[in-house]
Amino acid sequence: MSTHVIEPGWFTVNVFNRAVSWLTRRGISVWGSRALAVRGRKSGQWRTTPVNLLTVDGQQYLVAPRGHVQWTRNMRAAGGGELRLGRKAEAFTATEVADDDKVPLLRAYLKRWKAEVGVFFKGVGPDSPDADLRRIAPDHPVFRITVTN
């Protein structure tokens, strides 16, 4: 398994994520944003982070543009969590997508959010060949989510 991680900078942590989280808590989705809540794998406490909810062919996915970060590790341990938008919280289970199945999902994700997250994909974009998307697939966890409530 890849250990690829791109840590967020000061601006992302202290300005961008806080602004998106503030809007999401008030029920305003920014380009499909949600607050992802997952139980910590060690503490058991709820941990939240803003995410982009991707829908492809009626199925919902979460993609980790920064790689194998804390929320992805917690998701593997917890097997699910909640997606929050305003007062609405949807519980879900999560299944990690195999690297070979990520190509169309990464392409769709980059089509929608390349301007926001493209820098994390090593020069690969939505119009890149399948081979390039397959090459970076191990660095970007993808989870298929199934709403349970």
Q: Are strands 80-85 and 33-39 parallel, antiparallel or unpaired?
A: antiparallel
* pLDDT-wise least confident of 31-35, 55-59, 85-89, 104-108: 31-35
User: Tens digit of pLDDT for each residue in 41-84?
Assistant: 999 999 998 899 999 999 999 999 999 999 999 999 999 999 99
pLDDT classification of 8: cutoffs 50, 70, 90: low
**The pLDDT value given to residue 13:** 64
3-state secondary structure of 94: strand
What's the pTM value of the predicted model, to 2 decimals? 0.89
- Tokens (6 digits) for 17: 């994520």
